[in-house]
Amino acid sequence: MKVAVAQFKSVLGDFEKNLQKTVEFSEEARKKGAKVCVFPELNLTGYNVWDITFEVAVQLNSPKLSPLLEMSREIDLIVGLVEESPEHIFYNSALYISNGKIKHVHRKVYLPTYGMFDEGRFFGHGNRVEAFDSALGRSSILICEDLWHMSTVYLAFIQGAKYLFALSSSPGRGYREKSMFGNAEVWMNMGEFYARMTGSYFIYANRVGCEDGFVFSGKSFVANPYGELVAEASPFEEELLIAEIKEELIRSARANLPLLRDERPEMVIKNLRRALDEE
């Protein structure tokens, strides 16, 4: 099987242009034999939407999403956008679209409000981490800051996820001599670690380009269940990354390191309750 990662440069606030480019990338991925094409966080709107959050948001029944629903009859898609709930709460969300339908929605759980980030002022917090069946197998989607909290990966892991889709719009910080930003190196370290510890594929889609003074760090990648990078994108250019998925590696990795077998979620729940009660 093949998975495609679209390292994408969004146009801030231009939903239609981003949508057209998303369809074009998806068609290219389909022609290259990918089962799923993964896009970065908020690829349909741009990242710094703050004052235009309410203008670019779409509800899940919006006809604006029709081109993606149609494209998903040929290849499954994971896209990022501002979702407006029926209650008019706005979420930083990712959609898994397959066979003409939205099959899964992940709303970003952790919203950064430190340093250059201000998401908590504009978005509602998601409150669920779930596993679902994708074209590759049992999967979970997490968005950027979610992955800086180990709880989200743990929840995906104990629900049987074999594929961790990580969507990000990570601005570059700490330029390295290796022609990449320091935070891109941290993301690689993180992906390698999570892949190895969960015996899963870690599929990271980051964006590139400049936006309101942010320079996004690129370096999208795929890590296999042994924590090895099997595909890696450039730091600054738009591109479509294609990676070969070998499901047998998941079986091999989990047989060699049976952490899921030995996990004790009931013990975790008991200690969380104790810690909260003591606090």
- Dist. CA 243–CA 264, nearest whole Å: 33
Sequence length of the chain is: 279
Output the pLDDT for position 172: 61
- Dist. CA 191–CA 262, nearest whole Å: 22
Per-residue pLDDT band for 141 (boundaries 50, 70, 90) equals very high
Output the pLDDT for position 178: 63
Task: Please identify, in words, the CATH class of the domain defined by 2-278.
Answer: alpha beta
CA geometry: angle at 16 spanning 13 and 18, to 5°?
70
Give me the residue spans of the domains in the chain: 2-278
The alpha carbon of residue 22 and the mean position of all alpha carbons in its chain are separated, in whole angstroms, by 15
Which helix (H) or strand (E) covers residue 45, if one does?
none
Which amino acid is residue 150, in one-letter code? Answer: M
Query: Is residue 37 within 8 Å of 76, Cβ to Cβ?
Result: yes
Output the pLDDT for position 115: 74
> Over 70: is that where the pLDDT of 273 sits?
yes
Per-residue pLDDT band for 176 (boundaries 50, 70, 90) equals low
- Dist. CA 244–CA 125, nearest whole Å: 34
- Dist. CA 93–CA 82, nearest whole Å: 6
What percent of the chain has pLDDT above 90?
86
- pLDDT tens by residue, 83-120: 999 999 999 999 999 999 999 999 999 999 887 788 98
Least confident range from 13-22, 78-87, 98-107, 171-180: namely: 171-180
Query: Is residue 197 within 8 Å of 259, Cβ to Cβ?
Result: yes
Output the pLDDT for position 177: 62
Tokens (6 digits) for 133: 């069946």
CA distances from 136 to 82, 151, 159, 168, 225 (A): 25, 23, 16, 20, 14
